[in-house]
Amino acid sequence: MTAVLFDFSGTLFRVESTESWLRGVVADAEVPFTEAEFTVTAQALEAVGALPGGGDPARVPEELADAWLIRDQSAALHRAAYTGLSRQVTLPDPAWHDALYDRHMTPAAWTPYPDAVEVLRTLRERGVPVGVVSNIGWDLRPVFREHGLDRYVDAYVLSYEHGIQKPDPRLFATACEALGADPRRTLMVGDDRRADGGAAALGCEVHFVDHLPVTDRPDGLRPVLDLVS
């Protein structure tokens, strides 16, 4: 393998917990909100899968079903899908639904996995080009910049910027082209077997990591270094 593509959420970074996500909005609000109300609301938001990058919803409402399937193909669809999920939960202020969505796009909402910097830095030292291929509805580049990882990424291929989403091989092909890499000598690293596994159709080797909390996966990315020349 002479080039590496990485997924974003659950692979290089993990989003904050639903409790932290909600508290980040509540802290800036002037609406009275007791701790008991906070706990119930956080549990309800988690149950409906309202946090992008968190767990998938157990059930997608019928009125959101079509948008949900293609949510990563545009910024508007992504926002509509996730705020639609959160609106299943009654919040003290309806404006919080958009505020929560906005919160998840901030660098503060994301934490790199403990070995992400080490692995990316080592790949750069070896001269191995790196791309990030993500199903997403917003620009994640500021997250990488804020956490000091942008210097190690040669190309970003984001679904909403191309109107296609993984597992469509075209997204991986675009990334390989941006890196000047042969797909047959490119490794795709991700946590979603269906979405990230789409790279195999292009001839890429695929390596999966577990989508776990940051504290539970201290060195899940290090095996990548053994797979790359």
Residue 38 buriedness (CB in 10 A; 0-12 / 13-18 / 19+): middle
What pLDDT is recorded for position 30? Answer: 77
What pLDDT is recorded for position 135? Answer: 98
CA 180 – CA 187 distance, rounded (Å): 14
Separation of first and last alpha carbons in the chain: 6
What pLDDT is recorded for position 149? Answer: 98
CA 228 – CA 138 distance, rounded (Å): 30
What pLDDT is recorded for position 160? Answer: 98
> What residue spans define the domains of the chain?
3-14+110-227, 15-108
CA 68 – CA 49 distance, rounded (Å): 12
What pLDDT is recorded for position 18? Answer: 97
The CATH architecture one would assign to domain 3-14+110-227 is 3-Layer(aba) Sandwich (3.40)
Bridging pattern class, strands 205-208 and 186-190: parallel
Per DSSP, 200 falls in state G
**pTM score, two decimals?**
0.95
The one-digit pLDDT tens for each residue of the chain (229 residues) are 899 999 999 999 999 999 999 999 998 787 888 899 999 999 999 999 999 999 889 899 999 999 999 999 999 999 999 999 999 999 999 999 999 999 999 999 999 999 999 999 999 999 999 999 999 999 999 999 999 999 999 999 999 999 999 999 999 999 999 999 999 999 999 999 999 999 999 999 999 999 999 999 999 999 999 999 7
Measured N-to-C along each axis, helices 96-104 and 18-26 cross at an angle, to the nearest 10 degrees, of 120
What pLDDT is recorded for position 33? Answer: 84
User: How many residues are there in the chain?
Assistant: 229
